[in-house]
């Protein structure tokens, strides 16, 4: 495994499939007790490993954060191979869903904004705790997006993602 040190606060660990993960220096020694590889889940890679004596696999970010059962680890910047503690937080599944990126199918270019054929206007909506909330109709997509961002801040707080 090739290791590169950057600015003395984190290291890169080379994974399979031409991928690498970032980890804090203080986690590195413990992580090297495992054999790591890149595992693709849909279009996202995760650092997955196993203890040298065990066949049971685990995700690196869960190990680093000592994530309890029933909780998940959110990658704040959406880079699932950035496993530095500053990019990780233990959250509920609901909180993690609030930090989702814009959908691949989005045609407006703005999260939470779509064209309403019926109203012939841009529509903003947001999902909160599994419930879709209609924010309003707008003459331009920019206005709809600004309304979405305001509602995301109000409803989702620090877990909200507007990109």
Domains: count for the chain: 2
* pLDDT of res. 7: 54
* pLDDT of res. 48: 97
Q: What is the CATH number of the domain that holds 116?
A: 3.30.730.10
Q: Residue 107 and residue 20: Cα distance in Å, rounded?
A: 32
Residue 39 included in any domain: yes
Give mean pLDDT in consecutive 10-residue pieces for the chain, a chain of 163 residues. Answer: 59 96 97 95 93 87 97 96 98 89 88 95 92 95 94 88 78
In this structure, the answer to whether residues 111 and 65 fall within a common structural domain is: no
The model's pTM is 0.78
Q: Residue 83 and residue 12: Cα distance in Å, rounded?
A: 10
**Structure tokens, 109:** 């270019």
């Amino acid at each position: 495994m090739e290791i590169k040190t950057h600015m003395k606060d984190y290291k890169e660990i080379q994974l399979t499939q031409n991928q690498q993960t970032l980890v804090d220096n203080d986690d590195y020694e413990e992580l090297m007790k495992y054999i790591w590889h890149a595992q693709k889940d849909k279009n996202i890679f995760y650092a997955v490993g196993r203890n040298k004596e065990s066949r049971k696999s685990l995700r690196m970010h869960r190990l680093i954060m000592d994530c309890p059962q029933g909780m998940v680890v959110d990658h704040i910047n959406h880079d699932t191979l950035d496993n530095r503690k500053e990019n990780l937080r233990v959250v509920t599944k609901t909180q993690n869903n609030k930090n989702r990126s814009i959908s691949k199918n989005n045609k407006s270019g703005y999260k939470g904004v779509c064209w309403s054929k019926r109203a012939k206007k841009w529509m903003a909506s947001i999902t909160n705790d599994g419930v879709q909330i209609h924010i309003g109709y707008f003459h331009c997509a920019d206005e709809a997006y600004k309304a979405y961002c305001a509602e995301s801040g109000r409803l989702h707080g620090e877990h909200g993602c507007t990109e």
